[in-house]
Structure 1
Amino acid sequence: MKTRHTLRLGAAAFLMLSGCAVNPVTGKKEVILVSEGQEVAMGAQSDPAVTAQFGLYQDPKMQKFIDDKGQKMAAISHRSNLKYQFKVVDSPVINAFAVPGGYVYFTRGIMAHFNNEAQFAGVLGHEIGHVTARHSARQQTKAILGQVGLMGAMILSPQVAQFGDQAMQGMQLLFLKFGRDDERQSDELGVEYSSKIGYDASQMADFFQTLARQQQKSQAEPIPDFLSTHPNPEDRYTTVNQLADKWKAANGNPKLAVNRDQYLRLIDGMVYGEDPKQGFVENSVFYHPELKFRMPVPAGWKHQNTPQQFQMADPAGKALLILMTAPGNSLDEAAQAIAKQLSLQPTDSRRTTINGFPALAFVADQVQQDPQTGQQVAGVRVLGHVIQDGKTLYALLGVAAPADFPAYAPQFTGVAEAFQRLTEPDKLNRQPERVRIVKLKLRSTLSKALTSNGVPEKRLEEVAILNGMQLNEQVNAGMLIKVVGK
């Protein structure tokens, strides 16, 4: 045992010595067990999964804008040698994130909440900062040294959450949390990089006020990912303003751009909130206009919709329902492919018909491996339904721990048996809301300006946050503001 302990210590020492590298930002040596080549490979491997998970937002002008600004900023960064890629993904969540190797993503949700190019540039610099300071590589190193696996974002029992991660096809990398020191360093880099390409970094500080108000508005609801992983927005407001002033003073107080009107015109017509064509929930029913089906959501269950799949989670965290398209040309092929993909061992199956659709129902078990001990542990039980609509095959998987499965099986069955064709015209033809940019004709308060442009009273605060303004703030004739409408 002593010999083994010595060998382990020797191996750790070897890893630490061989893994020393100079951080491109600080110039200091640090233990990094992930090479630059591995970072690039991780990013290249993650990118197809990211775009499949969220989809790209189909607006060539906006995609060109983020790539042009991103490449300009990457060129003056501490790691200009990387081949960066910048994309806007089709999600309403307020978020921006980067994965190793130079892949940077902004959601359309966060793009809608920026009110000028300088705010966007500050957050862009922040995300590039995560890449240049090798924050993901450091997190990976901690995971290797501590033998800690990556954790997903789902708040479910360990067995059920692990199944969800597998169904999400290894998206754990996206939910890797950075420490607050890393976030503060990225804020500093955001100020430096955005200022260097000519933008007023104090505008990024103003955007943190928008985030703080959004956080307060969320209250009991889960806060956006960009807020949950970052330091308190109000603290950041003060710090970033100080950093911006310091940079200006050190560089001769140059004239820096804000470009408010240019940015607002760019996002005019942008989809706001959930896009109905991707599916939407209303009165505890999930509707999908493009695929023309509907099914219920169990009362009180949380839900998340992406282009890849629709998930419903029991609020107690003991059960999960996942709807996704299934591979294969027949019900049997699809069931076999799902069982192989998710390491399921079927125990029972039967043919059935669900509201005119041919279907196959099966029960299967999954034995899971403890990531730390390597031992086989009690897994989950799955009640699956494969439903055929012409050439399209859907898999609806109800997942629970074996002990909880009998209590949830009736709900799984009830949801599956209520899957049916969507025929209601108002659901099939539902249009998304969009950000509309209007030019004011009169001087007034923001509240009066929004009301006169058709914003209902119950949404005034929401649209004020979208504009980064207070409702009692004065707005002038000729000024551009955002409203929301179809």
Structure 2
Amino acid sequence: MKKLFSCSLATAVILLFNSCATNPVTGKRDINFVSEEQEVAMGLQADPAIVAQFGLVQNPTLQRFIQEKGSQMAAISHRPNLKYEFKIVDSPVLNAFAVPGGFVYFTRGIMAHFNSEAQFAGVLGHEIGHITARHSAQQQSKSTLAQVLLMGGMIASPTLAQYGNELSQGAGLLFLKFGRDDERQSDELGVEYSTKIGYDASHMADFFQTLQRQSQQSGQGEIPTFLSSHPNPGDRYNTVHQLADQWQKQTNATNLKEGRDSYLRMLEGLIYGEDPKQGFVENSIFYHPELKFQFPIPAGWQHQNSPQQVQMAPQDGKAMMFLRLAQGTSLEAAAQKMLTDNQLQAIESKQVTVNGLPALAVISQQAPQQQQQQQAQQQQAPPIQALSYFIQYGGNIYNITGVTAATDFNTYFPAFSATATNFRQLTDQEKINRKPEVVRIKTVKTPGTLQQVLQTYNVPSKRFDEMAILNGMQLTDRIAANTLIKVVEK
């Protein structure tokens, strides 16, 4: 047994030695089991799924802007040889992310909250930094090494082997997000890259205040430094300001650009918040104006809408429900494909109608896994159980499925059933014709505080704080005449 354990550790050491590569940013040797070719392949595989998940913003001006600035920045980065792609995806969430191989994505939500080209450029440099420093590739490599070491431990300890599946999942979770060190390094690269293409990187620090205020307004509160993979936004503000000063002195940079007005003008007409045509929630009811259906969301449940599906979950996280288009030419074929794809077995099925629409209701359970059969019954997690409705309407088959542990199925069955059986045609013309809110750029005519200026544009008082965050200002800030500001209108 000791010999086997020693061999497994030796294998890990050999893998570690042979898989070190020079980091393009630091020049140091890093553990890396992923080659550059594999990175590019990972990006090429992920990109279509990401675009399908969110959709792209139909705004040629902004899409051209992010591609031009991204290409300019990539050329002076530590990995200019990669073929980068930059895209704005159709999501109201404030987010930007990168995947290996040179693929960078910004949401329209974060684009709306930038208040200058310099703020945008700093975050763009941060995301390119994740790619150039190979953070995603290192993350994958750490996960691989963890599995190698875990296998060695399992060979050495039969007791540990009993929990191999749980430990494997835990090892993956350790590297699920970028660590604080990676985020700090990307902040440094964001300052470096944006400065090198002529932007004042201190404005990147200002955007961290916007993120902090948005987090507080949404009820998340301040993110504790030691409980988040991202550094505290307040800490990042101070650090980035210091880094910006250092890079400006180091490069003798002068006349660095902010680009406030030029950036704001590009936002004119950008959809803000949820786009009603993709579906929206009002009073716990989901409406889809284009496909003309509606259904209720259980009280207190969270929801997330994307072009592919609507997901719902209670606060305790013990259940999940989704609505998506089913695949198949008949209700039976659609049900069989869903069950097969998700390794479920039907235990009850019946033809029903849902508000006059033909439907098939199916109760199913997780199919037994052979590897689980070899373990003692008490060590297995409870199997999952699902209630699925397949509803034929408007030339489509819609699948509403609720999933939970079999032990909790009776608890969540009423919520699953109520949502599915209340799926119906949407006929309310006000909901069908609902228009999105869009960003409008206004030129201030009369100087005053931001609050006074917002009042002149008939902004409701309950949205003053929201508009202050959107503009990166305080309500008490003095606004000079001819200043551009953002408001939101239909």
TM-score (ref. length: structure 2): 0.90
Partner of 2:395: 391
Letter in 2 for 1:459: R
Map 1:272-311 to 2 at 5 A.
272-311=272-311
Number of residue pairs the alignment of both structures matches:
459
Matched, 1:260 2:264: no
Partner of 2:205: 205
Residues 30 and 206 (structure 1), Cα distance of their counterparts in 2 relative to 1, 3 Å cut: same
The answer as to whether partners of 1:289 and 1:427 remain within 8 angstroms in 2 is yes
The answer as to whether partners of 2:385 and 2:404 remain within 8 angstroms in 1 is yes
Residues 283 and 222 (structure 1), Cα distance of their counterparts in 2 relative to 1, 3 Å cut: farther
| Partner SS, residue 322 of structure 2 | strand
| Partner SS, residue 77 of structure 2 | coil
Matched, 1:416 2:423: no
Partner of 1:105: 105
| Partner SS, residue 346 of structure 2 | strand
| Partner SS, residue 147 of structure 1 | helix
Letter in 2 for 1:395: N
Separation (CA, whole Å) in 2 of partners of 1:374 and 1:125: 50
Q: CA deviation at 1:372?
A: 12
| Partner SS, residue 396 of structure 1 | strand
Map 1:94-173 to 2 at 5 A.
94-147=94-147
Separation (CA, whole Å) in 1 of partners of 2:362 and 2:31: 49
Q: CA deviation at 1:220?
A: 4.4
Separation (CA, whole Å) in 2 of partners of 1:119 and 1:410: 48
Separation (CA, whole Å) in 1 of partners of 2:81 and 2:444: 46
Map 1:65-104 to 2 at 5 A.
65-104=65-104
Residues 219 and 372 (structure 1), Cα distance of their counterparts in 2 relative to 1, 3 Å cut: farther
Q: CA deviation at 1:374?
A: 9.5
Separation (CA, whole Å) in 2 of partners of 1:368 and 1:314: 27
Partner of 2:409: 405
| Partner SS, residue 257 of structure 2 | coil
Separation (CA, whole Å) in 1 of partners of 2:258 and 2:371: 49
| Partner SS, residue 144 of structure 2 | helix
| Partner SS, residue 407 of structure 2 | coil
| Partner SS, residue 378 of structure 1 | coil
- CA deviation profile, 1:239-290 (whole Å, cap 9, x unmatched): 1011111111111132111111110000111000111111111111111111
Letter in 2 for 1:324: R
The answer as to whether partners of 1:435 and 1:482 remain within 8 angstroms in 2 is yes
Partner of 2:153: none
| Partner SS, residue 52 of structure 1 | helix
The answer as to whether partners of 2:215 and 2:222 remain within 8 angstroms in 1 is no
Deviates more, 1:316-325 or 1:362-371: 362-371
Separation (CA, whole Å) in 2 of partners of 1:423 and 1:267: 33
Matched, 1:381 2:385: yes
Separation (CA, whole Å) in 2 of partners of 1:97 and 1:16: 28
Q: CA deviation at 1:311?
A: 0.8
- CA deviation profile, 1:323-363 (whole Å, cap 9, x unmatched): 00111111111111111211111111111111121111111
Structure 1 unaligned residues grouped into runs of 5+: 149-171
Q: CA deviation at 1:49?
A: 1.2
Letter in 2 for 1:193: Y
| Partner SS, residue 431 of structure 2 | helix
The answer as to whether partners of 2:31 and 2:142 remain within 8 angstroms in 1 is no
Separation (CA, whole Å) in 2 of partners of 1:222 and 1:315: 20
Residues 176 and 86 (structure 1), Cα distance of their counterparts in 2 relative to 1, 3 Å cut: farther
Q: CA deviation at 1:229?
A: 4.5
The answer as to whether partners of 1:367 and 1:377 remain within 8 angstroms in 2 is no
Deviates more, 1:34-43 or 1:182-191: 34-43
Separation (CA, whole Å) in 1 of partners of 2:370 and 2:103: 31
Matched, 1:463 2:475: no
Q: CA deviation at 1:218?
A: 2.0
Matched, 1:438 2:442: yes
| Partner SS, residue 182 of structure 2 | helix
- CA deviation profile, 1:415-439 (whole Å, cap 9, x unmatched): 1110000000111011111110001
TM-score (ref. length: structure 1): 0.91
The answer as to whether partners of 2:216 and 2:222 remain within 8 angstroms in 1 is no
Separation (CA, whole Å) in 2 of partners of 1:93 and 1:480: 24
Deviates more, 1:372-381 or 1:359-368: 372-381
Residues 404 and 422 (structure 1), Cα distance of their counterparts in 2 relative to 1, 3 Å cut: same
Partner of 1:5: 5
Q: CA deviation at 1:212?
A: 1.4
Separation (CA, whole Å) in 1 of partners of 2:228 and 2:260: 27
The answer as to whether partners of 2:454 and 2:464 remain within 8 angstroms in 1 is yes
| Partner SS, residue 350 of structure 1 | strand
Larger radius of gyration: 2
Matched, 1:454 2:446: no
Partner of 1:477: 481
After superposition, the CA RMSD in angstroms is 2.1
- CA deviation profile, 1:392-447 (whole Å, cap 9, x unmatched): 11110010100000111122111111000000011101111111000111111111
Letter in 2 for 1:437: I
The answer as to whether partners of 2:191 and 2:244 remain within 8 angstroms in 1 is yes
Residues 455 and 369 (structure 1), Cα distance of their counterparts in 2 relative to 1, 3 Å cut: farther
Q: CA deviation at 1:129?
A: 0.1
The answer as to whether partners of 1:113 and 1:467 remain within 8 angstroms in 2 is yes
| Partner SS, residue 81 of structure 1 | coil
Residues 453 and 33 (structure 1), Cα distance of their counterparts in 2 relative to 1, 3 Å cut: same
Partner of 1:162: none
Residues 371 and 139 (structure 1), Cα distance of their counterparts in 2 relative to 1, 3 Å cut: farther
The answer as to whether partners of 1:368 and 1:377 remain within 8 angstroms in 2 is no
Deviates more, 1:86-95 or 1:377-386: 377-386
Residues 254 and 31 (structure 1), Cα distance of their counterparts in 2 relative to 1, 3 Å cut: same
Separation (CA, whole Å) in 2 of partners of 1:360 and 1:264: 51
Map 1:295-334 to 2 at 5 A.
295-334=295-334
Q: CA deviation at 1:367?
A: 4.2
The answer as to whether partners of 1:370 and 1:377 remain within 8 angstroms in 2 is no
Separation (CA, whole Å) in 1 of partners of 2:51 and 2:418: 32
Separation (CA, whole Å) in 2 of partners of 1:34 and 1:90: 30
Separation (CA, whole Å) in 1 of partners of 2:111 and 2:372: 40
Letter in 2 for 1:106: F
- CA deviation profile, 1:105-164 (whole Å, cap 9, x unmatched): 00000000000000000000000000000001111111112239xxxxxxxxxxxxxxxx
Separation (CA, whole Å) in 2 of partners of 1:140 and 1:46: 14
Deviating above 4 A after TM superposition, structure 1's stretches of 4 or more consecutive aligned residues are 220-223, 367-377
Q: CA deviation at 1:379?
A: 2.5
Q: CA deviation at 1:465?
A: 0.5
| Partner SS, residue 177 of structure 1 | coil
The answer as to whether partners of 1:368 and 1:378 remain within 8 angstroms in 2 is no
